Structure formats: structure tokens, C-alpha cells
Amino acid sequence: MTTLSTFALPVRAEEENLRPLPWRQMAWVTWRQHRTGLTAVTAMFAAIAVLLGVAGLHLHHAYAAAIACQPANSFACNNLVNTFNGMYGFVANGFIFQPVPALVGAFLGAPVLARELESGTFRFAWTQGFGRWRWTFAKVVGLGCVVTAVAGAISVLLSWYYQPYFPAGSQALYVSRELPLMASSPLGAGLFDLRGVTFAAWALAAFATGLLTGVLVRRVVPAIVATLVAYTGLAFAVGGILRQHYLAPLVTSKLNIPDSAWVLSQQWLTKAGRPASQSVLSHVLQGAPGQLFSKGGVPKSVNVWQYLVQHGYTQLTTYQPADRFWPFQWIEGGWLFALSVLLIAATVWLVRRRAA
């Protein structure tokens, strides 16, 4: 290379033009380093797709058969309805899919930085010419897009699967009556975040949480655990408390609330407008004719409510109507996305600032 002048070492020539470092060069590096995680996510997606596909086709056929059956209340047609209602009960309320975003986020997101910090390989990766914050940013954006895309695809499949349970403007069959109460509303806890955009948004949020815990905790297994815990906490908080307040709930004194509405609370008021206690109501109902009650003395049908209304009581129902499904989706998807961006920004900032 350089010639050895007499009794002196070669002097380094001035820098030649160095190659540029485009962002896409990180793509191969990211893929190679996270091959296992990405393969696992893809395999999981494929498995879910196959299962949903097979089961979904089954479900759709049964639904179509039950709908098309004439006459509507014959024995044969009721059989078809019962068949439909009996299908995949454990899947119907959606809870089985709830952990999916958490798992994807925790197992793909937490190791990204935690493994580098735990094993010491950041001393290699962050001293290369690419630089540490660009390295982090490229990885995070690349993997984040994959997570969102896979979750989005699963969510499309789920929407298709659950279609028979949420026919538009349905009155055709009371199929929804047989499902557990929560699932009958599209806004209900188990199903709301599987359809539309929120599934992908939750997955991205879990991924972003994993990244941040990874850089804070610096150990892979504790970071995964911390991510799962944080995600679970957030999911419960949102489902149980936050979601119902996205838009001011409607209050009505009508008795015929559609099954698809998400009932938040119900309350009986006296003529004077004060809350009526259970004992007062029971007292009033004691004078009611027997056919209003079912076994066990529990007032079940709307007729009981009408009886109480005739006696001057009002039922106030606070609820969210089903047609608010998409506004709620956008609201939840929106703030989750903003949260993800914030968490990712915090992660990149910490990487940039933090010392070894």
C-alpha cells in the first residue's frame, strides 16, 4: 500500500471519499439480528391465519345457512340457529386473542436494546461508523413497521371472522342474545380492540413499551416481564375505565335499548328524581302479578321494567351506542399511536444520551 521510506513508518494519506451510509443498509443488519423473532412472529401469524381461516369459513357457512332458512321459526331452522350459536364459544368473546399484541411487543420489542446492553455487544454496534442513534432508529422503525403490518393483517382476519356476530343493522336473528353479555356490543372489552385499527395500535404500543423497558432495565428477561406487566396494566385501565369516556355517553330513560349498545350503568330513580334502592324496588314488586317473574323471583323481562315505570319509577341507562364504533376506534388508535411515537422518541433519546 504505502511505501516504507527509510527508517520511518508509513504516514496515513488524507481521507479519500468515504462511501455514504444509506439507511437501508441497516435493513439487512436488522433482519439478520432479529431473524428468530421475526420468524416466530410470522409463524404465529401463519398459524392464526390458518386457524381463523378454517374456523371462519365454517362459521360463515353456518351463519348463511341459518339466515337463509325458511320458515324462520321452524324446528329445522332453529336447529341451524343453535348450531351457529354453539360454534367456537371460547373464541367468540375474543379474550383468547387479547395477549397477542402483548406477546409480539414484549418478545420482539424488549430484546432489541436489552440484549445489546446485557451481552455487551453495544460496545461493538455503537462504535461502528453508522452511529448509535441512527442504528437504533433504523431498527426501531423497521421492526415497528413489521409489527404493525402483521398485527394489522391479523386484525383484518379477525374482523372477517367476527362478521356474522355484527351484521349491519341487524334484526334478522337474535343470535347475539346467546353470546356472553360483553361480546354482544362491538364496543365491548373483549372484541373492541381486535377489530378495526386498534389491534395494530396496541401491538405497536406494546413494541414501543418493550423498547423503552429494554433500554431502562438492560436485561432481557426482566424487560420482557416488565413489558408484559405494563401492557396488562394499561390494557385493563383502558378497557375498564378510559374507553367509556372517549365520547360523553348517552343517557336515556327508554326501556328498549338495542342489544348492540354498550351499557355502562343502569339506575332506577324515584318520582322525585332520587336513586331508588334495591329494597324499595323489591317492595314495589311484591305487589306485582306472578307471571312477571321467572324462577327464583328474579325480575327478568321488560315487562317488569314496564310495571315499575307504571308505578312512577324511571330507569336511567348510560350507554354508548354501537354506531360509535369507528369514532372510538380512531380515538383509541390515535392516542395509542401517539403514545408509541412518544415511547420510541424517548428510547432513541435515551440511547443518544446515555453512557455505557
Contacting positions for other proteins (CB under 8 A): 1-12, 18-21, 25-26, 28-29, 32-33, 119-132, 135, 355-356
Closest CA to 119 of 111, 127, 109: 111
CA 65 to chain CA centroid, Å, is: 31
Instruction: Specify the residue, 25 or 232, whose C-beta has the smaller distance to other proteins.
Output: 25
Closest CA to 322 of 195, 201, 203: 195
Cβ-based neighbours of 240, under 8 Å, separated by 6 or more = 189
Instruction: Specify the residue, 20 or 290, whose C-beta has the smaller distance to other proteins.
Output: 20
Q: What is the DSSP string of 328-341?
A: HHHHHHHHHHHHHH
Instruction: Specify the residue, 78 or 128, whose C-beta has the smaller distance to other proteins.
Output: 128
Contact between 250 and 318 (Cβ < 8 Å): yes
Is the Cα dihedral 172, 174, 175, 177 positive or negative? Answer: positive
Closest CA to 193 of 179, 209, 181, 205: 205
Angle subtended at Cα 238 by Cα 320 and Cα 325, rounded to the nearest 5 degrees: 35
CB of 352: closest distance to other proteins in angstroms? 10
CB of 355: closest distance to other proteins in angstroms? 4
CB of 131: closest distance to other proteins in angstroms? 6
Residue recorded with cell 381463523: 52
CB of 127: closest distance to other proteins in angstroms? 4
| Cα atoms in the 13 Å half-sphere on the side-chain side of 39 | 6
Cα distances (Å, whole numbers) of residue 276 to 268, 269, 282, 308: 6, 5, 10, 11
Closest CA to 97 of 159, 165, 185: 159
Cα 53 from Cα 243, distance rounded (Å) = 30
Residue 201, classed as helix, strand or coil, is: helix
Instruction: Specify the residue, 84 or 122, whose C-beta has the smaller distance to other proteins.
Output: 122
Instruction: Specify the residue, 20 or 71, whose C-beta has the smaller distance to other proteins.
Output: 20
CB of 148: closest distance to other proteins in angstroms? 24
Instruction: Specify the residue, 127 or 266, whose C-beta has the smaller distance to other proteins.
Output: 127
**310: part of which helix (H) or strand (E)?**
helix 302-310
Instruction: Specify the residue, 5 or 286, whose C-beta has the smaller distance to other proteins.
Output: 5
Instruction: Specify the residue, 35 or 311, whose C-beta has the smaller distance to other proteins.
Output: 35
Instruction: Specify the residue, 8 or 168, whose C-beta has the smaller distance to other proteins.
Output: 8
Contact between 262 and 319 (Cβ < 8 Å): yes
